[in-house]
Amino acid sequence: MESGKPDPHAQSRSDGGFTVIEALVALALSVLVFGFLTASVLGALRVSRENRFQQVAVGIAMSHVEIARSLEWDEMAMSSVEDGSPLVDAGATYLVASMAGLDADEALVVDSGGAVAPVLTEDVDGAQFVVWSHVSEAGDLRRFFVHVGWDIAGERRGFQTSSLVSEVSAR
């Protein structure tokens, strides 16, 4: 090949191609970047789902509070107390202050003519929400207390709120 012409089969480093090692390093870096992005997106979806369930629970609780506030004073009582009711003492006679976030224990208002069901379940978007409702005496007022619980990813979550009702404000 002394004719002075370049050999067409000879490769030079200036071809601009990648070596196998360079391609493998680029592939490994790409896999790492996509792995981190996937983990971030999955984490954001999990938080979004948890927040959506929290919003549903708040909506359920507030609708139960509004229904209770529309009751007549004589109807503002629990129809019964269910076994296993959260926030209630073992004898089912009062709302436990330390569990309900109150300053003092409050006696439950239970009457067979009461319009407040102690426990209900609501299914929303494939999730089951358990709604515990309690009515207690708070001086001259009655407190309607609602606790909404649900499971997400094997963990028990909950939201609770209450509203005070006077005999004058009851419908």
29-78 pLDDT, tens digit each: 999 999 999 999 999 998 898 899 999 999 999 999 999 999 999 999 99
Domain boundaries along the sequence of the chain: 17-165
Share of the chain above pLDDT 70, in %: 89
Residue 10 has pLDDT above 70, yes or no: no
Share of the chain above pLDDT 90, in %: 68
Q: What is the pTM of this model?
A: 0.76
77-92 pLDDT, tens digit each: 999 998 888 889 988 8
Three-point CA angle 167, 168, 171, nearest 5°: 85
Virtual torsion, Cα 106, 109, 115, 117, nearest 10 deg: 60
